[in-house]
Amino acid sequence: MRIIKRKRGESEYFYLQHSFREEVRVKTQELYLGCSIPKNIEEIKMRFGQEAKKDIYSKLAEIKSHFQNEWARIPKSAREKELKEIAIAFTYNTNSIEGSTITLAETREILENEIAPAKSLKDIKETEAHAKVFLIMLEKKESISEGLILRWHKEIFGETKADIAGKFREYLVRVGSYNAPDWQDVPELKRALIKFTGTQKMNSVELAARAHYRFEKIHPFGDGNGRIGRLIMNYILWHKEYPMLIIEKKRRKSYYRALQKDEEGFVNYFFRRYFSAHKSA
């Protein structure tokens, strides 16, 4: 979303322009702002964005309804089995994105049969710990908080990265060409993110996308930010009764490219991935 200026004669006029991809087409909508930019422009942007995405929200509502109906039909014992399957797939993909050498078949062996492959002990332990955190996360609903995020991080990395596990960074980090915010700014940024996740009334799929993007941009930990960010994303989806989204290892490049865009660019990417994953709904 951007503000554009047009001249007519000697006068200047401002418009709010929003472009987004719907199916295979890019749609562009504009809102006239006047001869100057209003003081409440951020509020106007939010309302305009929501109005432009009405069709998207309608499709998301259909996905949610379909998922709830299908989930309600599944017996409790079968639900537990399905959640374990999701845990296996999510754990494999989220760890593989970050460089784990554990395959999908090996992830299943580790989690179902407690059989460890001849692979890195670090990767094995993080596989076990991540799946455990994920399943507990689904069972217990609580507000996203600093304590919750620190607990997840400590439980996943406590045995493999003991020096940074459960601790927000107090040093500068760089991720590729991206310089994360100064560590001294991290406390205020994470407080703003936590407030955002707890107070926003936007669609829950959009909230999950924005929370994930903002968390990755803050990069509050020395390592493990991607895995915690994807947990936050699916925590929001699951407890708002939407089906979750697994970012697959094979789509890692497009996912990383989306994270390099601005927030609106990432949200548009997220919608496309979500519709693709749940197109049968």
232 and 154 co-located in one domain: yes
Catalytic residue among 212, 219, 239, 278: 219
Same domain, residue pair 102 and 176: yes
Quick one: pLDDT band at residue 135, thresholds 50, 70, 90?
very high
Domain count within the chain? 2
28, 61: one domain: no
Determine the average pLDDT of the residues in 111-139.
95
Active site residue 219: yes
Same domain, 147 and 243: yes
Whether residues 100 and 78 share a domain: the answer is yes
Residues 3 and 114 both lie in one domain: no
What domain range is 258 assigned to? 53-277
Backbone angles phi, psi at 12, to 5 degrees: -115, 140
pLDDT digits 0-9 by tens, 13-55:
888 887 766 555 667 778 878 888 888 887 787 777 677 678 8
Q: Identify the pLDDT of residue 22.
A: 58
4 in Cβ contact with 18 (< 8 Å): no
- 34/146: higher pLDDT: 146
pLDDT at 217: 97
Q: In this structure, are 38 and 62 located in the same domain?
A: no
Same domain, 71 and 117: yes
Same domain (yes/no): 190, 228: yes
What is d(CA 53, CA 32) in angstroms, rounded to the nearest whole number? Answer: 18
Q: How much is the pTM?
A: 0.85
CB-CB contact of 111 with 84 (8 Å)? yes
> Is 15 in the same domain as 57?
no
91 and 161 together in one domain: yes
Are residues 150 and 39 located together in one domain of the fold? Answer: no
Tens of pLDDT, residue by residue over 204-255, are 999 999 999 999 999 999 999 999 999 999 999 999 999 999 999 999 999 9
**Residue 128 belongs to a domain with what CATH number?**
1.10.3290.10
